[in-house]
Every structure is written in C-alpha cells, then in structure tokens.
Amino acid sequence: MTEEIRSKYQAVIGLEVHAQMLTKTKAYSSDVNAFGATPNTNISVVTLGHPGTLPKMNKKTIEYAIRMGLALESDITPFQTFDRKNYFYPDLPKGYQITQDHTPICSNGVVHIKDENGRDKVIRITRIHMEEDAGKSIHDVDVNDTLVDLNRAGIPLIEIVSEPDIRSSNEAYNYLTEIRKLVRYLGICDGNMEESSLRCDANISVMLKGSDTFGRRVEVKNMNSMRNVQKAIEFEIERHIELIEKGEIIAQETRSFDALKGTTISMRSKEAANDYRFFPEPDLLPITVSQKQIDAIKAEMPELPRNLFLKYTKEFGLSDYDAYNITDSKELAMFYEEIINSTTNYKSAANWLMGDVKSYLNQNGLEVKDFPIKAKTISELIKIIDEGKISSTVASQKVFPALLEQPEVSPLKIAESLNLIQDSNEDSILEYINEVIRQNSSEVDRYKNGEKQLTGFLMGQLMKISKGKADPKAANQMMRSVLDKL
Ligand code: ADP
Ligand code: MG
C-alpha cells in the first residue's frame, strides 16, 4: 500500500484487556488458582458446574479489582450485581460465565500513555468488570482430538475496557505496557501474556482523516504478546483501507490472529454471535462497597509508577529516560527506593542502578531479587566516592566486582584491603605532578603555548603514575595551577 493512500486514513482502536487475578483460589469456589498444574486437578464440583452446587464470591477478587480501579482513577460502583452470560463451549461446564453486565465494579478512568510522538496522552477507560475464566481447549497435543483442561475454569478475571481513544498500533503497545506495569505494581496479576494471564482483544476501525464518524469495527482475538497485538492492528488497518479503497464494506466480525503468518482470519460474524442472553445471576448476592472499604484498600496501595516517575524527574532531577527505565519494573524501582533511603545523591544512585547493576543483571540473566549486593551497600559505595575516598572509575572497575564476590564486606573495607583509597594529600599529588612534567616535557611546552586541551592527556599520565589512586578532582585543580605558573 502506498504511503499516500495509507496517510488518507485514521485508525481508531479500543482495547479489551483480560487480567487473571493472582488470588489463591478461584473466583466463586475454593479450588486452587494456579498455572501449570496437572490438567483437571483443580476442579471441584463447583468448577464442574454440577447441579445443586453454588458459587461463593472470593473477596480478594473484589479487593484486587478495586485496586486497579483506584490506580486508573475510576469510580467504584457501590452496589453491584452479577449476571450470567450464556454460551456453549466444551471448556465452559456451567454453560454460562458469571460476569457483571450492568454494574461493572469500576466505571470511567484513565490510562496515561505516550502518543506516537512521545507526548503525554490520556486514554479513557469505560469500565472494569469482574468475571471468570473458561477452561482451556487444547488442539495441538493430539492429532485427532481436542483436549479440555478445566483447571482454568473459574479463575477470577477483570476485564478492562478502553474507550476508542487509541490511534495507532504504537499507542496500543504503549497502553498495554502501562496496563501490564500497573497490574504488576499492584500485585494483582503477573502480567504474563505468553501464559495468557494477561490477554487483549483489539477493536479496530479506520476512517478518513478529519472525519468524526468512526468506521465499522472488527474485533481481533488470540494475541499472546504485545508485539502480536501491534502486528494484528497493523494488518487490520491495511486490510480495512484496501477494502474501503475498493469500495467494499467492512464486515462487523470477530477475527483471530495467526501469529505464524502475521495475518488475521474471520472467526464469526458479530451480529449472529452476540446473543448471550444475559440474565441476573440468582446464586450470588449483590455486593456493596463502602467508602471505608475503599479507603482501607487505598491505604494499602503501593506507590504507582507514574507517581514515582514524577517524583524522580521533578524532585530528584533525573532524566525522563532514567526515571522511565527505573519505574519500568516495580522490583527495580523498589531497589532504587532502598538505595536512596540512605543517600541523597539521587543521580549517582540512578547511574549505579542503570549502569553497573543493570548490566550485571543482564549479563547474567538475573532478576533484581537475585542481585547479591544490598541496596544499602550501594549507598555506602556512593558515599565513599562522594567523600573522595575512591574515584568512580575505581569504584566501578575494582570495588564493585569485589563486592559481587564478597557482598557482606563494606565497600570501604574492600577499598582499603585492595589499597585503593585515593590520595588527596597535597604533597603526594604535587610529587605526581612533578613526575608528569618530567616525563612529558614536550606536551607541557605545547600546553604553555596555548594547547590547553592537553590537560586531559596530562591528567591521564598522572592517574597512571599514581596507579589510579590520586584524587582526580584535587589533582586536576593542582595540575592546572602548577602548569599555569610554569
Ligand atoms: P463487545 O461486547 O462487542 O466486545 P464492548 O463494549 O465490550 O463490546 O467493547 C467494545 C470495544 O470496542 C471498546 O474497547 C471500544 O472502545 C471499542 N470500539 C467501539 N467502537 C469502535 C470503533 N468504531 N472502532 C474501534 N474500536 C471501537
Ligand atoms: Mg468484546
């Protein structure tokens, strides 16, 4: 498709995200909620939908859904009921899903993302409701049969529905990144798209630029990574434009993403499939949420990445880039918080974290929790650099690697035992300077003739002569004044 045709159109996207809640038990029964258990082991009669069994609401799900609602600045619905969404699937033993149709637990809300040009943008949230997962139909293990694992049936889900405010596949990617970050910060979902604990359906339409009437949308399902969501959206945008350019009409339908081909295929037409015959769930009592409960949940909420980002950039003077990367993962942000508990050198703390610490983790394929050195020890390291006891180069090249071997020993002790404490004694620095002048007379002459940039070279020589132990700040100052007096 030519860029000219593509640029005539504007994509419009709304996302529906399902997140599996990290509760110990299922949404409406005491069956264990766990990923990867032997198939069909966490299935009591409730999960199997035996006649006469009754659902019982898991309170933790309500709390988790409210956490998400508060994080998205939503309104929490004080009085909620449940509904049955009826459809037949082999992996849905009851023949219906218990969900919230008319009274979603949260309504309204916002997600803050970056748009195509890196500018701040708000995506409005329509609603969050609670529901339950279906079991899993497995088509690729047995050539002749479809296998059904019901362990997943009844696992609590929240569905987060966005307004059609997203305008490109990149924005969709950024939106999902934020949602995943939030559920992980809140500890309500592991955010693992590969294991399907976070899933996304994308609604996509296109319209002519400048139009205020949205086009006909399709819904794409079955994308198990954020990249695939992006690819599916790109594919759909082009498919829609091509059809419209040919004068054809977009069918309102549900499509499935084929990750191998990078294409989508029609699953069912929307008009025909959408008759779920919702009706009120008679076996679950309505729930009421009081302001007191909301306040209690609010009080337990961790700091959110957005607030941390604002604190780091506005109060600590970190760059947007550093602040974004530190707050990208809760573990990293919490480690940073621990470091700055005992140092006010926020920038240095960020540099250590994003530099030596992160590259050690990356090189060894480790998570923050596996990092051997304590946060407090990193602040001690920063302290002895700031006090001029060791240079940052020595800290990074000598002390840090030694700390990795002996994380229990203090940085100062290590620096002392390796004989790395730097020399800021004026007499010894003067000796180094005199030695530099003796060994580099031609460079010194050129310096005197105006080539001031040679200080860098001469300082290098001095550090070499001092075996890296001269305090570079003090040495630099003295070197200049000695040279200028020559
Ligand atoms: P359904 O039950 O059909 O999935 P929902 O209300 O659950 O309907 O979800 C509708 C989703 O489609 C929302 O995320 C909404 O923002 C999005 N949407 C609605 N109209 C359009 C459109 N014209 N183009 C793209 N997305 C749309
Ligand atoms: Mg939908």
Which-ligand-closest: CA of 237?
Answer: 1
Which residue's CA lies nearest to atom 5 of ligand 1? 161
Pair (228, 282) in one structural domain: yes
Ligand 1 pocket by C-beta < 6 Å: which residues? 12-16, 161-164, 203-205, 214, 217, 219
Give pLDDT, residue 271: 60
Kindly report the number of other CB atoms within 10 A of residue 77's CB atom: 22
User: Which amino acid makes up residue 410?
Assistant: S
Which residue's CA lies nearest to atom 14 of ligand 1? 14
Determine the distance separating the centroid of ligand 1 and the alpha carbon of 80, expressed in angstroms: 23
Structure tokens at 428: 């010894």
Which residue's CA lies nearest to atom 13 of ligand 1? 14
**Final residue before a domain boundary, out of 273, 293, 313:** 293
Q: Please check whether residue 362 lies inside any domain of the structure.
A: yes
Mean pLDDT by 10 residues, the chain (486 residues): 94 98 97 95 96 96 98 98 92 95 97 94 98 94 94 98 98 98 98 95 97 96 93 97 96 93 89 74 96 98 96 97 96 97 97 97 96 97 93 92 96 93 85 94 93 93 88 89 89
For the residues of 365-379, what is the DSSP string, one character each?
Answer: T--GGG-SS-HHHHH
Pair (236, 192) in one structural domain: yes
Which residue's CA lies nearest to atom 2 of ligand 1? 274
Which domain covers residue 379, as residue numbers?
Answer: 303-417
Pair (177, 211) in one structural domain: yes
Pair (238, 374) in one structural domain: no
Give pLDDT, residue 272: 56
Nearest C-alpha neighbor of 375 from the set 416, 414, 412, 403: 403
Pair (63, 142) in one structural domain: yes
Task: Give 288's strand partners.
Answer: 79
Nearest C-alpha neighbor of 198 from the set 411, 318, 59, 19: 19
161 CA: nearest ligand 1 atom: 14
Kindly report the number of other CB atoms within 10 A of residue 194's CB atom: 8
Question: The CATH number of the domain where 458 resides is what?
Answer: 1.10.10.410
Distance CA(309)–CA(112), nearest Å, equals 12
Please, are residues 13 and 172 in contact by the beta-carbon 8 Å criterion? yes
Pair (308, 430) in one structural domain: no
Determine the distance separating the centroid of ligand 1 and the alpha carbon of 217, expressed in angstroms: 8
Task: Calculate the CA 271 to chain-centre distance.
Answer: 36
Task: Give 272's strand partners.
Answer: none
Determine the distance separating the centroid of ligand 1 and the alpha carbon of 237, expressed in angstroms: 15
Determine the distance separating the centroid of ligand 2 and the alpha carbon of 157, expressed in angstroms: 14
Pair (240, 307) in one structural domain: no
Which letter does DSSP use for residue 341 in this model? T
Which residue's CA lies nearest to atom 11 of ligand 1? 14
Pair (282, 431) in one structural domain: no
Q: Please check whether residue 298 lies inside any domain of the structure.
A: no
In the chain, how many domains are there?
Answer: 3
Give pLDDT, residue 88: 87
165 CA: nearest ligand 1 atom: 16
Distance CA(460)–CA(120), nearest Å, equals 45
Please, are residues 73 and 109 in contact by the beta-carbon 8 Å criterion? yes
Distance CA(217)–CA(203), nearest Å, equals 6
Which residue's CA lies nearest to atom 24 of ligand 1? 205
Which-ligand-closest: CA of 218?
Answer: 1
Residue 52 makes CB contacts below 8 A (sequence gap 6+) with none
15 CA: nearest ligand 1 atom: 14
Give pLDDT, residue 467: 84
Ligand 1 pocket check: which of 16, 83, 171 to mutate, most ligand atoms within 8 Å of Cβ? 16
Please, are residues 198 and 22 in contact by the beta-carbon 8 Å criterion? no
**Final residue before a domain boundary, out of 417, 442, 476:** 417
Determine the distance separating the centroid of ligand 1 and the alpha carbon of 125, expressed in angstroms: 12
Q: Please check whether residue 339 lies inside any domain of the structure.
A: yes
Distance CA(372)–CA(405), nearest Å, equals 9
CA angle 259, 263, 264 (to 5 degrees): 100
Q: Please check whether residue 453 lies inside any domain of the structure.
A: yes
Kindly report the number of other CB atoms within 10 A of residue 357's CB atom: 22
Give pLDDT, residue 374: 97
Pair (309, 192) in one structural domain: no
Is pTM beyond 0.85? Reply is: yes
Pair (188, 235) in one structural domain: yes
User: Which amino acid makes up residue 136?
Assistant: K
Residue 282 makes CB contacts below 8 A (sequence gap 6+) with none
Q: Please check whether residue 188 lies inside any domain of the structure.
A: yes
Pair (454, 381) in one structural domain: no
Give pLDDT, residue 274: 62
Determine the distance separating the centroid of ligand 1 and the alpha carbon of 264, expressed in angstroms: 18
Pair (170, 254) in one structural domain: yes
Ligand 1 pocket check: which of 83, 159, 206, 217 to mutate, most ligand atoms within 8 Å of Cβ? 217
**Final residue before a domain boundary, out of 293, 313, 348:** 293
